[in-house]
A = this chain, B = another copy of it.
Amino acid sequence: MKISARNTMKGTVTNVKEGAVNNEITIKLAGGDEITSIITQASSNALGLKAGKPVIAVIKASNVMVAVED
């Protein structure tokens, strides 16, 4: 599947924090940055997410904001 979301960044899961409905996934990107994702627990389980698993962070361009230092 090839998706319209403009931003796809490769990384590795470093932590999965389980909630009742949502899980919080921490991903270390290849470039060194860390990114955090909230997805449903059902999706997290369906993808078999756990520390060490190679994944791709996917972000729609309209969900990226830009900031500048004061």
Binding site for B on A (CB under 8 A): 1-9, 13, 17-25, 27, 29-33, 35-40, 42-44, 46-49, 53-70
From B17, B42, B54, B68, A69 is in contact (CB under 8 Å) with: B54
User: With contacts A1-B2, A5-B65, A30-B32 known, what are 15 further pairs, Cβ within 8 A?
Assistant: A3-B67, A4-B37, A4-B43, A4-B67, A6-B36, A6-B40, A8-B67, A9-B33, A19-B22, A20-B20, A33-B33, A38-B64, A43-B61, A56-B66, A58-B64
Give the number of times this chain occurs in the complex, counting copies.
Answer: 6
Closest 6 CB pairs of A and B: A31-B31, A19-B21, A37-B64, A19-B20, A63-B63, A4-B43
